[in-house]
Structure 1
Amino acid sequence: MPDPARPLPDDFLSVPVAHRGLHDAEAGRIENSCAAVAAAVAEGFGIEIDLQPSADGAAMVFHDYTLDRLTDRTGPIRTRTAAELGGIGLTGNTDPEGAGIPTLAQVLDLVAGRVPLLIEVKDQSGDLGPQGIGPLEDATAEALRDYRGPLAVMSFNPDSVAALAQALPDVPRGLTCDAFDEDDWAAVPAARRRRLAGIGDFDRTGACFVSCGWQALDRAPVRALKARGVPVLCWTIRDSGQEQTARRIADNITFEGYTPAH
């Protein structure tokens, strides 16, 4: 069992976190783009980003497993090199600089420690199990090795969080969680869904926070961790009414589509 993670910096509890950056398709800022990251920095919001691997082992800032939704290309992101991905424009992105899919290193240079950065390492097993875990976590660790600024890493996959504990022992880490209903998580075996919903791997992974789907906040496992003093973040808040409800339990929010107070 890894040692407990370093505590989550206070900034993560006081500064709302922009989901995939401060993106706005109408303004030409696409999710997880350099433009969305820069906009969040300019407004003083924290930033949440997602990581997927390239074919040559780089940590790329991109949410989906395939290119289809956000680009004019198709197929898995992991079959293309970082250089190829950097040359693929994000559909609707009007920022002339950094228009392609960025690497984690590019985003780190852009943020430069000025706002909190919350990094979700996407599951590579397909069913939130142990298969395929390690390479993306190691690539993430390599990029983050010399970064200075408020930082935390997380994943839905506890085995990924455990790998991050080995690769980045001094970086705060957390479990991304949900109710794990079958309709939303059909690829995950029932027994694993039950364990994940109960946040049963929190202590095993040495996590220091959770980030929970806001509609699943009012559950016994989340309340039990909060009673222990564990920071509770949540996702994804899309209006002030949802924010008001979530903050009854959550210490901070991840948001998109509106501007919360901060």
Structure 2
Amino acid sequence: MLFGLLDRLLVPAPDAARVGWLKGRTFAHRGLHGPGVPENSPTAFALAIERGMGIECDVQRTADGQAVVFHDWELDRLTGEAGAVIDRRIAELAGIQLSGGTDCIPTLRQFLDQVAGRAPVLIELKSKRSLRAAPLCLAVRRALEGYRGQIAVMSFDPRVSRWFARHSPHIVHGLVVTEEGKRTLSATLKLHASFWQGRPQFLAWDVRDLPSRFVAAQRRRGFPVLTWTVRSAELAARAADCADGPIAEGAGVGA
């Protein structure tokens, strides 16, 4: 009861008119990728748009303070290059081809120009405690200037959601959560502390941790809850029961 009271006091429910578009749709996890179509690639994004899906993508900061669409901290798994993304400048990264296809790493601005409002977008900002969050947030906000489509930002790092709540409250901001199956008192304290710090307007929850009493309580308060990563018909059914929309890939798309 105390946690619930503090949740209501410290994290006001979002304006339903601003966040309602997040509900009732499927987001393609890193675009509609598969064999011959790399994740987070322009081809994967084009296929998601053609399918009428929303798009979820990952964004990192470059050495010169720009934003590129790429998931891993290192280039090794997804390209023929090696080393950390953050050590490369944007011009260099934009010329690196993604393995398994012909596309190169897109900048966030290139991605937004491609989508051009034709699909709702979720941008996950890749952040970690050893890095300052503000430079990445600033890079993303600069890229979003003038964009008119439906868009939301989110991160595992509550500092990101908090930054947008303070400095760009007009941009819908959310918190990505995995409990990793932990339901101990210490895990519950950590969960609520992240929620209070982040002050999100929506949640993106690990589907493996559903159902969740916390999720159910926040949904009742009006917080949209998306869930990731839905990869099967079984997980799609769980998402339909416990959340407002799946972030899906593979067999979870259209299941």
Matched letter for residue 109 of structure 1:
D
Q: Residues 230 and 3 from structure 1, CA distance in 2 versus in 1: closer, same or farther, beyond 3 angstroms?
A: closer
Residue 233 in 1 paired to residue 226 in 2?
A: yes
Shift of 1:225: 1.1
Which secondary structure state, in structure 2, belongs to the residue aligned with residue 105 of structure 1?
helix
Aligned CA RMSD, in angstroms, stands at: 2.3
Q: What corresponds to 1:44 in structure 2?
A: 52
Q: Residues 122 and 195 from structure 1, CA distance in 2 versus in 1: closer, same or farther, beyond 3 angstroms?
A: farther
Shift of 1:58: 0.8
Residue 146 in 1 paired to residue 139 in 2?
A: no
Shift of 1:203: 4.3
Q: Residues 104 and 225 from structure 1, CA distance in 2 versus in 1: closer, same or farther, beyond 3 angstroms?
A: same
Q: What corresponds to 1:30 in structure 2?
A: 38
Q: What corresponds to 2:5 in structure 1?
A: none
CA distance in 1, matches of 2:15, 2:143: 19
Residue 10 in 1 paired to residue 20 in 2?
A: yes
CA distance in 1, matches of 2:65, 2:128: 13
Q: Identity of aligned pairs, percent?
A: 39
Q: What corresponds to 2:166 in structure 1?
A: 166
Q: What corresponds to 2:112 in structure 1?
A: 108
Q: Residues 199 and 47 from structure 1, CA distance in 2 versus in 1: closer, same or farther, beyond 3 angstroms?
A: farther
Residue 201 in 1 paired to residue 194 in 2?
A: yes
CA distance in 1, matches of 2:213, 2:198: 20
Matched letter for residue 34 of structure 1:
P
Shift of 1:120: 0.5
Q: What corresponds to 1:63 in structure 2?
A: 71
Moved more, 48-57 or 217-226: 217-226
CA distance in 2, matches of 1:70, 1:214: 25
Q: What corresponds to 1:72 in structure 2?
A: 80
Q: What corresponds to 1:255 in structure 2?
A: 248
- Residues 74-109 of structure 1 show CA distances to partners (whole Å, capped at 9, x for unaligned) of 110000110100111001113xxxx21111000000
Shift of 1:219: 2.2
Shift of 1:3: 8.0
- Residues 125-154 of structure 1 show CA distances to partners (whole Å, capped at 9, x for unaligned) of 24xxxx511000000001112111111111
Which secondary structure state, in structure 2, belongs to the residue aligned with residue 35 of structure 1?
helix
TM-score between the two structures when normalised by the length of structure 2: 0.87
Q: What corresponds to 1:217 in structure 2?
A: 210
TM-score between the two structures when normalised by the length of structure 1: 0.85
CA distance in 2, matches of 1:174, 1:6: 13
Q: Is the 8 A contact 1:177 1:212 kept in 2?
A: yes
Q: What corresponds to 2:127 in structure 1?
A: 123
- Residues 137-189 of structure 1 show CA distances to partners (whole Å, capped at 9, x for unaligned) of 0000011121111111111011111112233210111110011468xxxxxxx
Q: Residues 4 and 205 from structure 1, CA distance in 2 versus in 1: closer, same or farther, beyond 3 angstroms?
A: farther
Q: What corresponds to 1:185 in structure 2?
A: none
Gap regions ≥5 residues in structure 1:
183-189
- Residues 9-46 of structure 1 show CA distances to partners (whole Å, capped at 9, x for unaligned) of 4332122000001111x2x2110111111111111100
CA distance in 2, matches of 1:115, 1:228: 27
